[in-house]
Chain A
């Protein structure tokens, strides 16, 4: 159950687009379309932003999108806004019938 690999930090200016990668193996990210992304503001509970690779829950802005290629999933945020500044985590189902999270990425809006 090794953690998925995410960049520790990314940054962008308001209005720009950024992409956060999430790299796993064929036993997790690459093997299943059960990748999800979570946003967490300081001191708050995580919030689901993307599920099953590319689906947005009701109420989540269409500025957030997800994709996957091989063993790497990606979260793209377009039209960056100040309120997007937060920590982002990816998660995947695994072949062990368990789940695994990435180490998290701190997004800074410059």
Chain B
């Protein structure tokens, strides 16, 4: 069935880096744009980044621009989020989602905690 599975979350110190992955199955991954969306504990959803189906265009929220990089490997049906210079305010559940004009399919999320 159509599925997105995130991995790579964990506890990391401020200023360090982490890379999240999102494995897609059950659909033609290379045909769809992909988003990262995060949700801080007890808070609402915050859009993080989007990448076009072929990786040709990428856009970021101001809060992560210059620190986070979204990428994809269509040969591996996998989406990535490289997170550098992490801050306490980056602590959240990170979801990947497929689609472009809307976030159609969502993964279950992976928790990232930035703490010393």
Residues of A whose CB lies within 8 Å of any CB of B are 1, 3, 34, 36, 38, 40, 45-48, 51-52, 57, 87, 89, 91, 93, 96-104
Residues of B whose CB lies within 8 Å of any CB of A are 35, 37, 44-47, 50, 57, 59-62, 95, 97, 99, 101-109
Closest Cβ–Cβ distance, residue A41 to chain B (whole Å): 12
The answer for the CA separation of A85 and B35 in the assembled complex, in Å, is: 26
Q: Total A-B residue pairs with C-beta atoms closer than 8 Å?
A: 65
The answer for the CA separation of A69 and B106 in the assembled complex, in Å, is: 28
Q: Say which residue of A36, A40, A87 sits within 8 Å of B102 (CB atoms).
A: A36
The answer for the CA separation of A38 and B109 in the assembled complex, in Å, is: 15
Contact indicator B47/A100 (Cβ below 8 Å): yes
The answer for the CA separation of A47 and B106 in the assembled complex, in Å, is: 7
Q: Say which residue of B46, B57, B62, B108 sits within 8 Å of A45 (CB atoms).
A: B108
The answer for the CA separation of A52 and B99 in the assembled complex, in Å, is: 12
Among residues of A, the one whose C-beta sits closest to the C-beta of B45 is A101
Q: When A38-B45, A104-B45 are in contact, do A98 and B59 touch as well, CB less than 8 Å?
A: yes
Q: When A36-B103, A46-B103 are in contact, do A1 and B44 touch as well, CB less than 8 Å?
A: no
- In the complex, which of the residues A3, A36, A45, A47 has the most CB atoms of chain B within 10 Å of its own CB atom? A45
Contact indicator B109/A45 (Cβ below 8 Å): yes
Report 23 cross-chain contacts, Cβ distance below 8 Å, ordered by A residue.
A1-B61, A34-B101, A38-B45, A40-B45, A45-B106, A45-B109, A46-B95, A46-B97, A46-B103, A46-B106, A47-B106, A48-B104, A87-B44, A89-B45, A91-B45, A97-B57, A98-B47, A98-B59, A98-B61, A99-B50, A100-B47, A101-B45, A103-B44
